[in-house]
Structure 1
């Protein structure tokens, strides 16, 4: 009855930015990214990828309230890169990794189909 519409969790409302950056005024080379309509899956992936970046000193995320549908990712760098550059680099690397996994998966599907059985190829 009082539950919000399910689409509110996933659809960014008009006039709201998907990602907003706020520089930290107290800590050098740090800032927060407010990301709309994402959850722990994306937060943990981004955080772990940021930990792999050699110029990142700190990376963490939190979900301020479960009914606000936003996530805050905090990033601090050593000054050789800005927090924005570090996140861009981490997201590029993450995209490359996902692409590699997809290619390997497709190769396995093709091998299964070439063997005379298995699943049909994906539609993409």
Structure 2
């Protein structure tokens, strides 16, 4: 009812900047960065990536209100690099990680296709939880339920 149209949550308006940086005058080497048209998905990944970097002292994010499509991320560094540069490095590393994950995901599913064409494990009716079952169903390949 009060929710905005779906496209308004993700599509930038003409002239709308996707990132706004506000330097923090009370905390040294800190900034609050507003990232528009994004939500918890990107905010949490960026926060986690930033916290894994050695130059970071603090990284946290919040979504002020669920109906407003932006989040604020607060970054404090040790002074060897600016918060903006560190965020840029974190984004680059995150893009690389997502690309690697996509490659691994596609590779695993290509193995699944090859395995399915050959027949996989046949004649083996293992229960997905370790026991032996009498009905094959979806689990007749003998794989654990966590296997792709």
Does the alignment reach a TM-score above 0.5?
Answer: yes
Distance 1:82 1:12 in 2: 26
Tell me which residue corresponds to 1:83.
Answer: 83
* Runs of 4+ in structure 1 over 3 Å off: none
Tell me which residue corresponds to 1:68.
Answer: 68
Gaps of 5+ in 2: 120-148
Shift of 1:77: 0.1
Tell me which residue corresponds to 2:135.
Answer: none
Deviations 1:22-79 (A, max 9, x none): 1111111110111111111111111111100100100011112222211111100000
Give the SS at the match of 2:65. coil
Residues 78 and 106 (structure 1 numbering): CA distance in 2 closer, same or farther, change over 3 Å? same
Name the structure, 1 or 2, with higher relative contact order (CA <8 Å, separation 6+): 1
Aligned length: 118
The alignment's TM-score, normalised by the length of structure 2, stands at: 0.73
Q: CA RMSD in A?
A: 1.7
Tell me which residue corresponds to 1:121.
Answer: none
Tell me which residue corresponds to 1:20.
Answer: 20
Distance 1:67 1:2 in 2: 8
Tell me which residue corresponds to 1:11.
Answer: 11
The within-5 A match list for 1:49-64 is: 49-64=49-64
Residues 60 and 112 (structure 1 numbering): CA distance in 2 closer, same or farther, change over 3 Å? same
Contact 2:57-2:78 at 8 Å conserved across structures? yes
Bigger radius of gyration, 1 or 2?
Answer: 2
